[in-house]
Structure 1
């Protein structure tokens, strides 16, 4: 029964959005295309470059519904470790901004006790260990999967 429910979710929620102007292997939501680098565990700068090479950027979560969609997708596909998003406080400690635009997020979904800046953590990822909520990590001392985004064509 659980398999049937999972399959039903995928068919009704994810399959219609797989193409919609996005390259093969990307998923579509709200006029944007997303790609999870399942094959790569990278530092934040490496993840940024990984996305850039694909004509994309580390995901900027503009709305809670966008985040909810991606969080559920990460959960369903059981992305181990977690995924980098393009949020950082490298410029000003404690002031998180989207990398490349320097705009502030309109919402947050930090895990319990986060952000804690333990060991100078300046980059943000969605972490599997805390139910795919936000966590701050060391930008070059930790590796997650890249979660890339670009506007659909």
Structure 2
């Protein structure tokens, strides 16, 4: 009965979701929401600003994502921080939120060069919007990212994802026809709802 109630509640909540999957200021692209900042901040401040939005400095893991953000940066015409750094170990680049070592990359010629304590990475507008390592204290624009759902392929590598509202994710997946991820999200949401109802709202 609890599971049936959970499904009923889930259907009701999905019905209230609008066609907009990203919060104000963010725009959707293939399962993520992106925010391209208007102001400039040092890398660490940009990282903290994204966290305040419930997001992360963008983690680029495919050519599709790279092409999307580079084209947006080209339109806006400036440098943009991404969430990559080698602050912990020189020359070992890691995504700051997921703590995963970089696998996909789009470095510009001669990059990364590590000159003059250059430990943070940005989209380099003079270099065809490829990546470059620069000093982290430079004030630059930045890109925040929210993941709409847990991607099955990346979950096998234990990559952390940042969630937007589950109801938004379910609505998005149902309309895009992504049945595999849709069932994953519904199963996860029903489980959490069932736990809340059987424990009086307390999570394990």
Instruction: Find the counterpart in structure 2 of residue 65 from structure 1.
Output: 64
User: Size of the alignment, in residue pairs?
Assistant: 131
User: Residue 36 of structure 1 aligns with which residue?
Assistant: 36
Tell me how far apart the structure 1 counterparts of residues 20 and 82 of structure 2 sit (CA, whole Å).
22
Are 2:81 and 1:84 equivalent residues in the alignment?
A: yes
Query: CA–CA distance in 1 between the matches of 2:34 and 2:57?
Result: 9
- Of 110, 113, 124, the match for 1:113: 110
- After TM superposition, where is structure 1 displaced by more than 3 Å over at least 4 residues in a row? none
Structure 2 length-normalised TM: 0.61
- In 2, the alpha carbon distance for the partners of 1:118 and 1:93 equals 11
Distance in 1, Cα, partners of 2:92 & 2:116: 17
Task: Please say if 1:144 is aligned against 2:144.
Answer: no
Aligned residues: CA RMSD: 1.3
Distance 1:84 1:41 in 2: 9
Residue in structure 2 matched with residue 48 of structure 1 by the alignment: 47
Residues 20 and 68 from structure 1, CA distance in 2 versus in 1: closer, same or farther, beyond 3 angstroms? farther
Cα deviations by residue, 1:101-144 (Å, 9 ceiling, x for unpaired): 2212222111111111110111100011211110001112x121
Structure 2 SS opposite 1:122:
strand
Checking the alignment, whether the CA contact within 8 Å between 1:114 and 1:135 is kept in structure 2 is yes
Partners of 1:96 and 1:47 in 2: CA distance: 18
Greater relative contact order structure (CA < 8 Å, 6+ sep): 1
Structure 2: how far apart are the matches of 1:55 and 1:100?
A: 12
Superposed CA offset, 1:83-105 (max 9, x none): 11000011111110100222122
Once the two structures are TM-superposed, the CA of residue 20 in structure 1 deviates from its matched residue by 4.4
Deviation for aligned residue 1:23: 1.4
The unaligned stretches of length 5 or more in structure 1 are 1-18
Cα deviation, residue 63, structure 1: 1.2
What TM-score do you get using the length of structure 1 for normalisation?
0.80
Query: Paired residue for 1:10?
Result: none
CA contact (8 A) 1:50 1:146 kept: no
Q: Is the 1:60–1:87 Cα contact (8 Å) retained in structure 2?
A: yes
In the TM superposition, what are the counterparts of 1:5-16 in structure 2 within 5 Å?
Answer: none
